[in-house]
Structure 1
Amino acid sequence: MDRRIKHMDSEITDLRSRSMRDNILIHNLDYVPGERLEQLVPQLLREHLNVNDVRFVRIHRNSVRGTINSRPVTITGKLVDPGKKDQILQAQKVKKQGARLPFFITAQEPASVVEERKRLYQITDSLKGQNIKAKVEKNGITMPNGGKYEEPIPKLEISDALQLDASQVESLDNIEVVYTQPTKSKGSEIFATGRKVSTMSEVSELYMKVNVDPNSVASDHRILVYRLKDSDGKIQESYWDDGEHGAGRRLLQYMRVNKIVNVGVVITRWSGGIHLGPYRFKIMEEHIQDIANLLDEK
């Protein structure tokens, strides 16, 4: 069942990617009174990027002005000529080197694809700090020797945990961890499991322990985030979102800002019928801090 769901998710992501392939997103473009985007945007592309004859099948702001914050709402546009997308993005790349643009354009992609790319770029940034020049490519990271980067902690699926025998599960039961009290809001429930970690194997044990727990297995998301200082004094850090797009990246940044180190945490979440929006990240950050405090007391 787990593998079937994973396959279905992959197919859905592929369908979304194909439906978005002719789309561009226009960010940070200020509102113009009475704006007609089908005329305004082609004019701006012509003036600032020297890209002519851009037409849209449809183009619109993604929400009503001012419903979230004061920033201009992103615009989605479906191009009549798909070939214009690469032309626009390349022209923007060249133009950015010389002058500030009044907007920023990206290709539209599914949230899961965008977040995974951000995660990969965070890894290459970390490798760069170790004087390792790795490169993000379509489905992973290429190392300087041409080989593929191997995740120190592979993403776990429930099916992986089911492969463990009784003795392995028993050894995981003996691992000492701490738990936070669950936070319940609008039908959602969030809590955290954590332990002190100084090696990748200890992070892996924590991750596996949560994934074999019958209660956690029934949850919608099991988000791993960790930071540790290895035997060489280097910081090792990463995360897995497990479908909660943006959560791991934000939680890792929270750990950095608050100088939380040698800590591994798995946030477990059951989703309710009502969206929590960005508030869910605030709840998760509080649980990260609670885990850090509990471990400091031990």
Structure 2
Amino acid sequence: MRKLGIVLTDRGSKYAVSGAPVRDRADVDAVLRDLRRDKAYAKATHNTWGVQLSEGGPLKGDDGEAGAGMVILRMLERAEILDHVIVVTRWYGGKHLGGDRFRHVQTCVSAYLEGDGDGGEEAG
């Protein structure tokens, strides 16, 4: 798993992005479990994700952040990336962000796809 850590902060909310290669839904679930083993990610308000599986098609999870999974999925489709789950994590900061939250999800996914965050943590 590749974790870029905190990519941006806005009005107290913090966003991070992670991802890993996957083959099927069971792999996606394993990646999410592994991510949540990190106490900081387990305490996050939302761990939204998206993946396009070669066999199985598109899958997404909003984890309470309605629409965020679709944002990730659309970006993966445009980039023609298969079999790689991307997870955007948000720690809610107490203030509603409105539509800005979707721009922040896009920023996180872009950072991941561009390979930003050289200080990112590689794990298991």
| TM-score range normalised by the length of the shorter chain | 0.7 to 0.9
Trace 1:111-150 onto structure 2 (pairs within 5 A).
none
Question: Could you say which residue in structure 2 is the equivalent of 1:280?
Answer: 101
Counterpart position of 2:119: none
How far does residue 236 in structure 1 lie from its aligned partner after superposition? 1.9
What letter is aligned with 1:251? I
Aligned match of 2:2: 178
| Structure 2 residue 73 is matched with structure 1 residue 252 | yes
For 1:280, what is the secondary structure of its paired residue?
A: helix
| Distance in 1 of aligned mates of 2:44 and 2:98 | 18
What SS does the corresponding residue of 2:109 show, helix, strand or coil?
A: helix
Letter in 2 for 1:226: V
Q: How far, CA to CA, are the matches of 2:29 and 2:113 in structure 1? A: 18
Give CA deviations for 1:11-46 in whole Å, capped at 9, x if unaligned.
xxxxxxxxxxxxxxxxxxxxxxxxxxxxxxxxxxxx
Q: C-alpha displacement at 1:291, in angstroms?
A: 2.3
How far residue 268 of structure 1 moved from its aligned partner, in angstroms, is: 1.0
Partner of 1:261: 82
Q: Kindly indicate whether residue 117 of structure 2 is the aligned counterpart of residue 292 of structure 1.
A: no
- Larger strand percent: 2
Partners of 1:222 and 1:185 in 2: CA distance: 17
- State the SS of the aligned residue for 2:40: helix
Shift of 1:274: 2.1
Quote the sequence identity (%): 25
Matched with 2:61 is 240
Distance 2:5 2:99 in 1: 20
**Larger RCO: Structure 1 or Structure 2 (Cα < 8 Å, ≥ 6 residues apart)?**
2
SS in structure 2 opposite 1:226? strand
Structure with the bigger percentage of helix: 1
Aligned alpha-carbon RMSD (Å)? 1.7
Task: Find the aligned partners of 1:286 and 1:260 in 2 and give their Cα distance.
Answer: 17
CA distance in 2, matches of 1:205, 1:292: 21
**Equivalent position of 1:114 in the other structure:** none
Q: How many residues align?
A: 114
Q: Structure 2 matches for 1:3-82, cutoff 5 A?
A: none
Unaligned runs of 5+ in 1: 1-176
Q: Within 1, Cα distance between the matches of 2:90 and 2:37?
A: 15
Q: Secondary structure at the match of 1:180?
A: strand
In structure 2, the residue corresponding to 1:227 is in which secondary structure? strand
Deviating beyond 6 angstroms after TM superposition, the runs of 4 or more aligned structure 1 residues are none
Structure 1 residue 288 displacement after superposition: 1.6
C-alpha displacement at 1:227, in angstroms? 1.4
Q: TM-score, normalised on structure 2?
A: 0.80
Does the aligned pair in 2 maintain the 1:193–1:267 contact within 8 Å? yes
- Counterpart of 2:24 (choices 199, 218, 221) is 199
8 Å contact from structure 2 (residues 47, 88) kept in 1: yes
For residues 217 and 244 of structure 1, the distance between their equivalents in structure 2, rounded to whole angstroms, comes to 16
Q: Give the number of the structure whose alpha-carbon radius of gyration is greater.
A: 1
CA distance in 2, matches of 1:227, 1:293: 18
Q: Do 1:265 and 1:288's aligned partners in 2 also have CA atoms closer than 8 Å?
A: yes
